[in-house]
Structure formats: structure tokens, C-alpha cells
Amino acid sequence: MTIRSDIKQPKRLTRQAFTLIELLLVLVILSVLAAVVVPKFTNRSEQARNTTAKTGIAILEGQLDVFETDAGRPPTTEEGLAALVEQPPNVKSWNGPYIKRGVPKDPWGNDYAYRCPGQHNISGYDLFSMGPDGREGGNDDIDNWSPH
């Protein structure tokens, strides 16, 4: 019995697997990418909230100006921003509501703060969001008296 050399023998299938080192290397690369990318997205969402708060303050300032034109004065601290939605008892020439869906919350779910007369705008009013921490003061407040 002779074996013919022109007949090809089937190749043995060998199973190639990833080594532990290769797997660890992939995990390290993914971790580094996540460490670089995730903070960039987080910062973007915080920037968006800050911009939304600034826009909200600008809109409320416009409505407060219309209230002042109609009533001859801005709302008092006691009347607050609610005076833009419901007529205060001592205001005769109220032509509101100046905000149809109620006073909006800031992007962090807190009420915008309003003071009249203002501590910073002495001849006007202070209008601000307390920012992500929800407390007045600190570097995260967004207001109508600071240059932006």
C-alpha cells in the first residue's frame, strides 16, 4: 500500500484564543478612552444647563420689564415671580398673566430667586439661579448682575 503524495491531507483546525495579556491590554485601552471621553460629555451637559439658566433669566427679565411697564413698578420680593402669573392684590393695571405655564424652574429643578430691591442691583432687582448645588453663594450661581 502506497500513499500518494498528490492527495492533500485535511488541515487540522487549531483554535486560536486571546491570551490574558491581550485581554488586559484591550481593557486598559478602553479604560483610557473612557477616562478621556466621559468628562467631555459631562462638561457639555453642564454647559448646556448654564446656558439654559442664562436664557431663563433673560426671559424672566423681559416679562418683569413688561410687568413694570404695566404696573409702574417691578414686583416686590414678597410678590415674587408669582406676580407674573397671578395678579397681586394691590396692582390695579395688571395685564397678565405674563407667563402662561407658571414660573419655570431652573435647569436643576430649583426656583429662580428674586429680590426687589436687589442687593446687587440696588435700583432694580436681583434675579438668579443658585446653580447645581441649590444654595445661594459660591461660584456656581447664575445671575443678572455679573458680566457674562
User: Is 27 within a domain?
Assistant: no
User: Is 44 within a domain?
Assistant: yes
On whether the pTM is more than 0.95, the answer is no
Q: What are phi and psi of 129, to 5 degrees?
A: -105, 140
Per-residue CA distances from 32 to 26, 77, 118 (Å): 10, 51, 48
User: Is 90 within a domain?
Assistant: yes
Q: How many domains does the chain have?
A: 1
User: Is 24 within a domain?
Assistant: no
Whole-angstrom Cα distance, residue 122 to residue 20?
Answer: 68
- Can you give the pLDDT at residue 44? 74
User: Is 88 within a domain?
Assistant: yes
- Can you give the pLDDT at residue 128? 94
Report the CATH number that the domain containing residue 63 is assigned in CATH.
3.30.700.10
**Structural domain that includes position 82:** 37-143
- Give first-to-last CA distance, the chain, whole Å: 95
C-alpha cell at 69: 411697564
Whole-angstrom Cα distance, residue 53 to residue 104?
Answer: 10
Which contiguous run of DSSP H or E holds residue 29?
helix 20-71
* 105-128 CB burial, b ≥16 within 10 A, e <16: ebbeebebbbbbebeeeeebbbbb
User: Is 129 within a domain?
Assistant: yes
- Can you give the pLDDT at residue 76? 94
Flag residues of the chain having pLDDT under 70: 1-15, 39-43, 148
User: Is 110 within a domain?
Assistant: yes
